């Protein structure tokens, strides 16, 4: 019997981090998402404050690298986007590659643009619940232009 796979249109949060913004790689990175069928349906550039960095990454507050994480994400402007598409949360994670660029598959964003686990070019929501929370942290509903 033919197998059917469930395809759901989802939205996920993506951040192009200060390392990649500083290297003028915004356009190059967005191309990875668009050529894989994800659409940018909201975007803004911000230079996060320390309070915003801590709040955004609150799930990591007990981790030993928390302070470095906040210092880095607040070290320069970031491009924040909502990406939309079929299974966008998992697709975005595949397109980004593993958190540690040394372990990221060839052709992924982190393999191509990241230099270390801290300076890893992009952030992406890791599950549905976090995607919803992260999107609403940065965007009001009327700032998101769904094309689904």
Q: Residues in the site for ligand CMP, rule: CB under 6 A? A: 60, 65, 69, 99, 117-118, 120, 123
Question: Least CB distance from residue 92 to ligand CMP, whole Å?
Answer: 11
Select 60 or 148, whichever has its Cβ closest to ligand CMP.
Answer: 60
Q: How far is Cα 19 from Cα 4, in angstroms, rounded to an integer?
A: 40
Residue among 54, 91, 93, 123 flagged as catalytic? 123
- Tell me if residue 123 is catalytic: yes
- The residue (of 49 and 146) whose beta carbon lies closer to ligand CMP is 49
Write down the least CB distance from residue 65 to ligand CMP, Å: 4
Q: Identify the burial level of 28 via C-beta atoms within 10 angstroms of its C-beta, where 0-12 means exposed, 13-18 middle and 19 or more buried.
A: middle
Q: Are 29 and 109 in contact (CB under 8 A)?
A: yes
16 backbone dihedrals φ, ψ, rounded to 5°: -90, 115
Question: CB of residue 63 vs ligand CMP: minimum separation in angstroms?
Answer: 7
Instruction: Report the residue number whose CB is nearest to ligand CMP.
Output: 123
Cβ distance to ligand CMP smaller for residue 136 or 146: 136
Ranges of H-type helices in the chain: 18-22, 26-35, 50-56, 66-73, 88-96, 109-113, 128-138
Catalytic residues: 123
């Amino acid at each position: 019997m033919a197998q059917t796979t469930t395809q759901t249109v989802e939205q996920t949060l993506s951040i192009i981090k200060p390392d990649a913004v500083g290297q003028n790689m915004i356009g190059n990175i967005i191309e990875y998402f668009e050529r894989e069928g994800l659409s940018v349906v909201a975007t803004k550039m911000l230079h996060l404050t320390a309070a915003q960095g801590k709040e955004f990454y609150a799930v990591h507050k007990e981790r030993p690298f928390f302070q470095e994480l906040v210092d880095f994400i607040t070290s320069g402007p970031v491009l924040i986007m909502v990406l939309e598409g079929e299974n966008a949360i998992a697709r975005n994670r595949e397109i980004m590659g593993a958190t540690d660029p040394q372990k990221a598959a060839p052709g992924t964003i982190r393999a191509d643009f990241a230099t270390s686990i801290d300076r890893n070019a992009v952030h992406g929501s890791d599950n549905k619940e976090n995607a919803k929370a992260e999107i609403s942290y940065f965007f009001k509903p009327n700032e998101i232009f769904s094309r689904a």
